[in-house]
Amino acid sequence: MIVVSAREFRENQTKVLTAAKGGQAIILTSRLGHFKITPVTENDSIIENNMREAIAEVKEHMDGTRKLPAAKDVIF
């Protein structure tokens, strides 16, 4: 595990992010708290895309351009 201050992170971003990408656990400490730096994985991207699609469906439904099924028809 590597612990870096916000100042060290600003000065060595490429080095720290390369270590995180390589699997090293990175903890960033600052006045605001402690944060773990991890690379975005394929699973993160899939979840994000699914959320965007779901939000788009809800917006279309609210605009009246899409009819969504009733909850009673979806739950089995």
What pTM was computed for the model? 0.55
How many whole angstroms separate alpha carbon 61 and alpha carbon 68?
7
The residues, ordered by sequence, that sit 6+ positions from 30 with a Cβ below 8 Å of its Cβ are: 5, 6
The confidence band for 76, taking pLDDT boundaries of 50, 70 and 90, is: low
How many whole angstroms separate alpha carbon 5 and alpha carbon 28?
6
Mean pLDDT on 12-24: 94
